[in-house]
Amino acid sequence: MSRYRVGIDIGGTFTDFVLVDAKEGRIHLGKRLTTHGNYLDAVMNGFDELIAAAGIAANDVEGVVHGTTLVTNTVIERKGAPTALLTTEGARDVIEIGAEFRYDIYDLGIERVKPLVPRHLRLELPGRLRYDGRELRPLDLERLPAMVEALRREGITAVAVSMLHSYVNPAHEQAVGEGLKRLFPEAKVTLSSALVPEIREFERTSTAIVNAYVQPLVSRYLRDMERQLAERRVSGPLYLMLSGGGLASVTESVGAPVQLIESGPAGGAIAACFYGRSAGGGGVSDMISFDMGGTTAKMCLINGGSPTRTHNFEAARVHRFKKGSGIPLRVPVIDMIEIGAGGGSIARVDAMGLLKVGPESAGSSPGPACYGLGGERPTVTDADVALGYLDPGFFLGGGMRLDRAAAEQAILRHVGEPLGIGVTGAAAGIQEIVNENMATATRLYVAESGRDIRRYAMLAFGGAGPVHAYRLAQILGLKKLICPYAAGTASALGFLVAPLTVEQVRSYVAPLEKLDWPRLQGLYASMEAHAIASLKALGVREDEIDFHRSADMRFSGQGYEIEAVLPAGHLDASRSAKIRDTFIDAYKQLFERAPEGLPIEGLSWRLAATGRRPALNLDFRGAATAAGSAKKGTRRVYFHHERDFIESPVYDRYKLAPGSSLLGPAVFEERESTVVVGPGARIDVDDSLNIIVHLPASTPHA
């Protein structure tokens, strides 16, 4: 394994950096405000600072892993390439018809997400395939030259091609692709059959459009980053974090940038699994991963040491946190919920006189009022400063001083005075509302997954996660909270413990009892061959590759399907009963019961091929100094249950020794984050310097 590797995560407020020395098991951390005008400014300046602080040269770095918000921000901000859609005659309105689903049935003025491709740029070609892939009418390409000239006049630089039933037979799409390569070589072209060969016309078309829309920008960005790393003589490759939790090369990512849509949050979930394997000495396998940064909070369920995954995602929602209001995508993603509850979430009093927090965020510019960068409206971070959770003189280890007076003035002006209360009451209200919002979303998320929230521990990270985690765990009634070392840059660390991954899917719709088993075996053989070739090209040995097979299945007649794991080994009729039982178990996990005697059908057959996970053994204990007391002093900290400030000891986290045991209240400070623990909790520090908090059994909700 390479000795020095760097992980870089671009967030809405901060860009995080982690450098790992695999030989010594040490890490070096960095954090800079995200530069939204040009993300690479913060990325490359932060990289230079990081390696300088570590005392190494750029050519000592043997690999960089990057996660970026570029894809999702490009779609949300509508700043992608001018894009066209070529489709089957009569099908150009698929992306507006959608699934005929109303995300809010009571809103008479419901607003639907605007298509990325306007109707006049959605062009149709004659020709038609049957549902089974057989040709009804030959494809007519005579119109293609005139279409290309029209698209040139419109300034089009990207084209998505999505034709009916191409997931069964890609011949028509491939012919269009060849024609575009010849007639329109300067355009970026995405074929839906190559990107996502799955049933469901709307989702497949939508995914192809988003991929084409972001491809020119992502290509320029990644190639520019590659160039700047090469100029610094970085010796290893640049990899990208995929939304599904694996890694891919720049070439793979440029071809399918839509798979980067949730790359940053995915790194956080992977980091949570990494931390969980060593937490408490024996490891914790069932957790709620809680990642709270400057803009949003994200929760993910970790079951058996692995994050929950899905293949459905929505981008650019009209109502950011209303399911069904966005652009649907069929891409592998780690399943998590996201709510507008970050340190930069803005507090306000609405027209009804009610206190609201988020989802609007101050971001990194102008930022919270306490940043002193021009922000005037109160945020969650301002409330944290006013309540004593954050030390204004030690934010980012003292690298960025916070203005407590400005925070209190903003809170009083925009919240306290309109509500007729003081600064403390207003700040406590801001924090309690944001915590309750996160708790409500978490309960719903866990319930929809068919799980019992009481059996989970919470693992908190992100710059703001450990600040709010104790109160959130209280509200949820959890018994254990884990705050890992280097929590403020956990997502960037997650990038460095993720394996190289290739995911494949093929749709073949058939009842389980009537499956053509040789055909199914052939589909998997084809997917495995493609995955092996892709991973070997990235330097993974074939004997290091693990395969995971699953299928999207449903009871015949249902409109939605669920994913069920398939058994390893040869697939034939003898495995039918096993596959049925696996599907029934998955169905009961979600719905508690399953109908009896109904036929089951498979729709899409999936393969995940994963290289060996990097064997990273970090010696966090090397960061703890044995000499001197870890206690820095005390400060007054507000706790909701007590409705008052309590004089609380403040500890230097870097001086905490493994095996330490304390009682709350307590505050633990490190450069990138702060852990706040309430009265009555027992606090243990394990061998990996994780802070393990055991909440009092009798802690009430409020």
Report which residue type is found at 312: N
Mean pLDDT of the residues in the chain:
90
The arithmetic mean of pLDDT across residues 209-233, rounded, is 95
Bridge partners of 162, per DSSP, are: 87
Mean pLDDT along residues 622-630: 58
- Binning pLDDT at 50, 70 and 90, where does residue 253 land? very high
Mean pLDDT of 464-492: 93
Report the greatest alpha carbon distance in the chain: 81
Dist CA 283 CA 281 (whole Å) = 6
Q: Can you tell me whether residue 491 is helix, strand or coil?
A: helix
pLDDT tens by residue, 435-450:
999 999 899 889 888 8
Instruction: Using the predicted structure, report yes or no on whether residue 273 has a pLDDT greater than 80.
Output: yes
Q: In three state form, how does the secondary structure of 362-417 look?
A: CCCCCCCHHHCCCCCCCEHHHHHHHCCCCCCCCHHHHCCCCCHHHHHHHHHHHHHH
Q: What is the pLDDT of residue 702?
A: 47
Residue 628, token pair as written in the block: 């001197």
534: helix, strand or coil: helix
55-100 tens-digit pLDDT = 999 999 999 999 988 898 888 888 999 999 999 999 999 999 888 7
pLDDT tens column, 31-49? 888 888 889 999 999 999 9
Q: Which residues contact 136 (CB under 8 A, 6 or more apart)?
A: 128, 129, 130
Residue 473 confidence class, pLDDT cut points 50, 70, 90: very high
300, 458 Cβ separation under 8 angstroms: no
Angle ∠(531,534,535) on CA atoms, nearest 5: 85
Residue 623 has pLDDT above 60, yes or no: no
d(C-alpha 178, C-alpha 689), whole Å: 57
Phi, then psi, of 342 in degrees rounded to 5: -120, 180
DSSP secondary structure, 118-178, as one string: -GGGEEEE--EE-TTS-EEE----TTHHHHHHHHHHTT--EEEEE-TTTTT--HHHHHHHH
Number of neighbouring beta carbons within 10 Å of residue 410: 27
Q: What is the SS3 assignment for 644?
A: strand
∠ Cα 40 363 45 (to 5°): 25
Question: pLDDT tens digits, residue range 103-130?
Answer: 888 888 888 889 999 999 999 999 999 9
For the chain, how far is it from start to end, CA to CA, in angstroms? 49
396 or 43: which leads in pLDDT = 43
CA 641 to CA 210: how far, in whole Å?
A: 47
Retrieve residue 272's tokens. 């949570």
CA distance 112 to 684: 50
User: Which two three-digit tokens encode residue 53?
Assistant: 């602080």
Instruction: Identify whether the C-beta of residue 491 lies closer than 8 Å to the C-beta of residue 264.
Output: yes
What distance in Å separates the CA atoms of residue 142 and residue 146, rounded to the nearest whole number? 8
What is the mean predicted confidence (pLDDT) over 487-499? 89
The H-or-E segment that residue 76 falls in is: helix 70-76
Q: Residue 229 burial (CB < 10 Å; 0-12/13-18/19+)? A: buried
Question: Distance from CA of residue 530 to its chain's centroid?
Answer: 26
Instruction: Give the rounded distance of the alpha carbon of 158 from its chain centre.
Output: 26
DSSP-derived pairing of the beta strands 158-162 and 188-191: parallel
Give the pLDDT band (50/70/90) at residue 278.
confident
Q: Are 471 and 640 in contact (CB under 8 A)?
A: yes
Pair 685, 660: CB distance under 8 Å: yes
Name which of 115, 199, 129, 221 is nearest 160 in CA terms.
Answer: 115
Q: Residue 559's pLDDT band (boundaries 50, 70, 90)?
A: confident
Q: What is the arithmetic mean of pLDDT over 387-411?
A: 91
pLDDT of residue 474: 94
CA distance 691 to 675: 9
Instruction: Examine the pLDDT at 627 and tell me if it is beyond 50.
Output: no
Beta strand spans in 394-514 (E): 457-461, 480-483, 501-511
pLDDT at 684: 94
- Going from the N-terminus, what domains does the chain have, and what CATH number goes with each? 4-75+224-260 (3.30.420.40), 81-218 (no CATH), 501-610 (no CATH)
Percentage of the chain exceeding pLDDT 70: 97
pLDDT at 700: 45
Query: Is 631 a residue whose pLDDT tops 80?
Result: yes
Beta strand pairing call for 83-88 and 122-125? parallel
The 10 Å Cβ neighbour count of residue 351 is 5
* pLDDT of 469 over the 50 cut: yes
Cα(242)–Cα(318) distance, rounded to whole angstroms? 24
Asked whether residue 25 carries a pLDDT value surpassing 60, the answer given is yes
List, for residues 348-361, the tens digit of each pLDDT value: 999 899 999 988 88
What single string gives the DSSP state of each residue in 189-243? EEEHHHH---S-HHHHHHHHHHHHHHHHHHHHHHHHHHHHHHHTT--S-EEEE-T
Match 């390409």 to its residue by tokens. Answer: 141
Task: Decide: 127 and 164 in contact? Cβ < 8 Å.
Answer: no
